[in-house]
Amino acid sequence: MDQASGLRDLIHKYSNDIWDLRKTERAKYKHSAPKVIAVTSGKGGVGKTNVVGNLAIEFSRLKKNVLIFDGDLGLANIDVLLGIRSKFHIQHVISGEKSLSEIIVTGPENIRVIPGGSGLQKLSNLSEGERLLLLNEFDSLDEQVDVFLIDTGAGISTNITYLTMAAEERIVISTPEPTSITDAYALIKVMYQQHGTKTFKLLVNMARHRKEAEAVFNNIHSNLSRFLQDIQLDYLGFISRDECIQKSVRKQIPVVICFPKSTSGKQFQQLARRILDSSDGKKDVKTLSFFWKKFMSNLQL
C-alpha cells in the first residue's frame, strides 16, 4: 500500500469528522460558489457533448475555472471531443485507489475533466463510506471551481435523472427533429412528475434559422401547458446547424477553438455570456459537495 492510499483509507475512516471540520473552514473563507449546470436531452446525438465542450472553453475565456463531469456513457465522450486521454475514472476515486485530483485530466485552455467511465453505474449504489469519501474529495475542489458542467447521457435512466435533478441549472437540448422534440418534452414531464423538478432551460441545437428554433421551443412549451403553473421552461436560444461543428469533431478540436468566427463559434460565445449573466447577482453560497449531497440524498428516496 503506498502512502497516498494509506492516507485515503484514513480519510475514509474519519471522513465524518473531516467533513464537519471542512464545513467550518469553508464557512469562514468561502466567497464564491461554483455554479452547477447539467446539460441533458431526451434523445442521444443532439449535441450535448459539443455544447458542454464549447461552453467550457468559452467560460474559461471569461476567466472562469471550469470543471466538466463526463456523465455520459455514450460513445463520443467529452475526452474524444477535446482530444484528451484519461487513464482513470470516478470508480478509482470511489474505491479509494486514487484521489479526485489524480483522475482529473486537463484539456485545452485549462478546462478540466472528471472522467465518469464505468464508475457511473456505481454512482447510484454507493455505501455510506463511499458517499462520504466522494463528498470529501469534491469538497476539496471547491475553491478551484467556478463552473461545474455535467455532460449527462440521454434519457431518463436513474443516474442521469439524479445528476440532472441535483444541478442548480438544467439545460435541455432538442433539435428541430420531431423525435428529439417529443423526447425532450417527455424528459421534462418525467423529471417533474416523478421527481418534482420544476425549472428547465431549453437550448435548440442544429436549427436552420431563428424561427425554426423558436418553433421548437413553442412546441415543447405548449405541450407542457397543463403543467406550466408549476414548471418553468425558459428559452436559452439556439445553435445553428453548422458544418464547422462536424469538421471540428473530426479534428477533435472544439469549434470555438478551430473555427471561432464560424456561426456556431460566435453563438457559443454569446451563449456562455448569457448563461453567466443570468446567474450574476444570485448570492446563495452552494458548494460542489452540496450538489453531491443532494444527488446522494435523492438516491435514498
CB atoms within 10 A of CB 177: 14
Closer by beta carbon to Mg ion, 46 or else 272: 46
List of residues contacting ligand ADP (CB under 6 A): 41, 44-50, 74, 76, 205-206, 239, 241-242, 245-246, 249, 264
Cα–Cα distance for residue pair 35/14, rounded to 1 Å: 28
Size of the site for Mg ion (CB under 5 A): 4
Closer by beta carbon to Mg ion, 118 or else 218: 118
One-letter identity of residue 143: E
Closer by beta carbon to Mg ion, 49 or else 99: 49
Closest CB 81 distance from Mg ion, rounded Å: 8
List Cβ neighbours of 136 (8 Å cut-off, separation of 6 or more). Answer: 11, 15, 18, 19, 22, 289
Closer by beta carbon to ligand ADP, 15 or else 262: 262
Cα–Cα distance for residue pair 22/139, rounded to 1 Å: 8
Of the candidate residues 70, 72, 130, 242, the single one contacting Mg ion (CB under 5 A): 72
**Residue matched to cell numbers 477553438:** 257
Closest CB 154 distance from ligand ADP, rounded Å: 6
For residue 70, give the 3-state DSSP assignment. strand
Q: Which does 47 bind (CB under 5 to 8 A by kind): ligand ADP, Mg ion, none?
A: ligand ADP
In terms of Cβ atoms closer than 10 Å to its own Cβ (0-12, 13-18, 19+), residue 243 is exposed
Closest CB 146 distance from ligand ADP, rounded Å: 23
Cell numbers for 103: 483522475
- 168 binding Mg ion? (CB under 5 A): no
Q: Which does 80 bind (CB under 5 to 8 A by kind): ligand ADP, Mg ion, none?
A: none
Q: Which does 41 bind (CB under 5 to 8 A by kind): ligand ADP, Mg ion, none?
A: ligand ADP
Closest CB 263 distance from ligand ADP, rounded Å: 9
Q: Which does 239 bind (CB under 5 to 8 A by kind): Mg ion, ligand ADP, none?
A: ligand ADP
Closer by beta carbon to ligand ADP, 99 or else 175: 175
- 180 binding Mg ion? (CB under 5 A): no
H-assigned helices in 33-109: 48-61, 78-82, 90-94, 100-103
H-assigned helices in the chain: 3-29, 48-61, 78-82, 90-94, 100-103, 119-122, 128-139, 158-166, 178-195, 210-223, 243-251, 255-258, 263-279, 288-300
Residues contributing to the site for Mg ion (CB under 5 A): 48-49, 72, 74
